[in-house]
Amino acid sequence: MGGMRLVKGFKVSALVALAVPAILALTAITTLADASPANTGLPGDPAKGATLFAQNCTSCHGVNLEGTIGPALNPIEKIPGVPNSLDPNFLIQIITAGRKHQSGDPKTADMPAKGGNPSLTDQDVRDLAAYIIQQNNAGSPALSPGELAKRTILWVFIGIAAMVFVTFLLAQYNMRWIARRAAARRR
């Protein structure tokens, strides 16, 4: 009878030992499959934006986005009253409509609409915004909210699975210890 429990316990342990890594692997594969490089969260094409920036923006913002007449764009200078200067909608709005100098702004020059080039299309403006965002995030690109949530869920699941597995192993050990003590008392 005792041999039967050992075999049954071994099967359960083996099942748990195989199931936990399998579930973790499937979760990781699913997370990595969903993290396609095409979904960068950028409003446009940063490569096209780099070309447009070189043609239209360097006289005010510098070749390396360091700022000259206009403010530095890498790292982007904070504007009072604007919570996130790298918000794509904010950048697109500023590039499209321009901005009059306001007290507290880093530089004194006004930003003309479309940098003074009315031939820039809406797509050109999105490409410029994408280039500015990419340059500011070049060291460590920001994760999209969905990707951040997936990675958080993955690591929480790994932690919970590890705790369940350790608890299972400790319970198995404890039950064997209790059985040995009971057998020793009967002798």
Average pLDDT, the chain: 82
Average pLDDT over residues 7-25: 67
Look at the pTM and tell me if it is higher than 0.75: no
Share of the chain residues as helix, strand and coil, in percent rounded to the nearest 5: 65, 0, 35
* The predicted structure's pLDDT at residue 38: 46
Query: For residues 12 and 15, what is the distance between their CA atoms, to the nearest angstrom?
Result: 5
**Does the pLDDT at position 165 exceed 60?**
yes
Given the candidates 3.40.50.11610, 3.50.50.60, 1.10.760.10, 3.30.360.10, the CATH classification of the domain at 46-136 is: 1.10.760.10
Q: Would you list the domain boundaries of the chain?
A: 2-38+145-186, 46-136
Q: Which range among 80-89, 97-106, 117-126 has the greatest average pLDDT? A: 117-126
Look at residue 82 in the predicted model and tell me its pLDDT. Answer: 85
